[in-house]
Structure 1
């Protein structure tokens, strides 16, 4: 992923501030990183370019989206220690492959209200689906998808 694409996405994310931008999965033994500016976002993305399989996976929430986000323990694999995940029904996820060998494609994603309602019954420790402003979620998701599509 080129630095130009990352910079374009970072500017688009922070254009409508204030905004919560956080890693969706933390590094072992660390809380999820929170990004408070496009510059910090880009600096972290550049650091991931040197890691094998490096990819940037963040969650984005704007105030008008409402809803609640929870940080919770992530089930560790063998030999892993304390990782955390960030979850929320309307949270917009942005995935950017940073390393040349990253095995993923760039995308912007968020659940629809219907999909969230279908999954809500079995979920634990996540604030309710009805707390989200789904029109705002869809609007921000669509805007960020358009920015990514044009940047690629």
Structure 2
């Protein structure tokens, strides 16, 4: 693997972790907002309180099981570490750069596959590389948008 390919892989990993951290953080904050709003709505006698309790229960369990806030924190920390590695890349030898990249990869998040192509396209754009991949599907564009990326 030559140095340019290694820099591209680091850039790709940075954007992938950044997008995953953003989307999981937004999901966590969205669930929290819904729980708060639904929690306050029990004071209004419009609907059965059992529906509200059930919705709050389901969303609370989802937050505990999937731990979106924790995943967001881990991914955002990894994205910062990849960015730091990119910043230091000019001062490192190829061997040191490769070693530090491999060390970071050992702690990578289990990122959703729907974010991989948008992150690849973002890395291509940021490095001025030609992107010969297929256009993003509507689903990929939607998830990329929710992850803070405005990819075509």
Please give the TM-score of this superposition, normalised by the length of structure 2: 0.26
Q: Which has the higher helix share?
A: 2
Larger radius of gyration: 2
Q: Which has the higher strand share?
A: 1
Which structure has more RCO (C-alpha within 8 Å, separation ≥ 6)?
2
Please give the TM-score of this superposition, normalised by the length of structure 1: 0.26
